[in-house]
Amino acid sequence: MRALEAVAISVVFVIFSAYFHVSAVYKPPSLHAYSVNRALAWLLLRSDSLPYGGELDKVVVDVVPSLVYLDNGGSLAYFRNSTKVHSFRAIWLGYNGTLSPRIVVIGVEP
Amino acid sequence: MNHRGQILLLAIIILAFTLLYSASHFSRPNPRFLRYTGELQSAELIHTARLYWSSKKYSLSYLLSILYMLSNESKVSMPIVSYENNYTLVSGRKGCAWYYTVYNNSVSFRAYWMWEFRGFYLKDLYGEKLLYKGYILVYYHNYTAPQWGSIIIYPLLEDNARIADIAYLGNGKWSIGFPARYTEYKLIDEYGLEVVIKE
């Protein structure tokens, strides 16, 4: 009987551990991950030259309201304080036939 | 298992959780980039195809290799794709042309234009009368991806030589006029793609 009890406790513990692991590690991306990806995709489709002029800050603030910071090829700008930030990256390869890769990172409050 | 054994097991479990929780506070903060493959990846491929057609200097394979290298560095997950390119121009008074790139993941880029001759007109240029040919041109980009279906945009057109008459009529429709002595005329869109009207 005691052995059965021990097995039952172990089974419950294994189920709990597995469930905890799955729920903590394999969380699906939250809604903001989709919306920020879509916003970056739209910016990338709409303009090849956006990060190379001075308008990126303004446009990103318009399409991503929860923006915390923007890193445009090393030039960093903060828009608000936040304790929790998720970062998203997009790559612009160049514009008007000129190759000039630029990595844009935006930090977003979930 | 006796009573003391159960308490011992419970104590071990609690201790394990406490240790793991404490250890997590000692780990270095590590920025996490969310891995989500979707709209952004398709947009990157379309952006690369558009740059390829505007550059004429770099092959698409080369541009994709740079994209993969940068995405590896930046932890942007990009799908490995193959592609097909096609440029077609059907000349004439009523003609059409397109740049087309399709990837094997159903993402595609197409720049399409068609023109139709509308007639001749005289233009007064610095006191001199020049014979111009007038066309109606329709020009658009079509970006296709499984995430959004099809997006059509109407890019702006420019004339680097500044001798053509260009007027936007709306919905991708343009009125174009250029000197009648030309059998071919090139305009440039806002992404650097050449739009050729050829009789």
Instruction: Specify the long-range contacts of residues B169-176, CB closer than 8 Å, at least 24 apart.
Output: B169/B136, B172/B138, B172/B139, B172/B140, B173/B136, B173/B137, B173/B138, B174/B136, B174/B137, B174/B138, B174/B139, B175/B134, B175/B135, B175/B136, B175/B137, B176/B115, B176/B134, B176/B135, B176/B136, B176/B137
Q: Is this complex scored with an ipTM above 0.85? A: no
Query: A41 at the B interface (CB within 8 A)?
Result: yes
Closest alpha carbon within chain A to B77: A89
Of A29, A38, A94, the CB nearest to B34: A29
Check B33 against A88: CB less than 8 A apart.
yes
Domain ranges of chain A: 31-108
Note the pLDDT of residue A28: 57
- Flag whether pLDDT at B34 surpasses 80: no
Of A33, A41, A101, the CB nearest to B43: A41
The pTM for the full model equals 0.79
Check B51 against A94: CB less than 8 A apart.
yes
- Flag whether pLDDT at B14 surpasses 80: yes
Which H helix or E strand runs over A33? helix A31-46
Rounded to the nearest angstrom, the minimum Cα separation between B142 and chain A is 11
Domain ranges of chain B: 83-198
Chain A residues within 8 A of B32 when measuring between CB atoms: 86-87
Check B191 against A40: CB less than 8 A apart.
no
Note the pLDDT of residue B35: 57
Note the pLDDT of residue B59: 95
Query: A94 at the B interface (CB within 8 A)?
Result: yes
Check A93 against B2: CB less than 8 A apart.
no
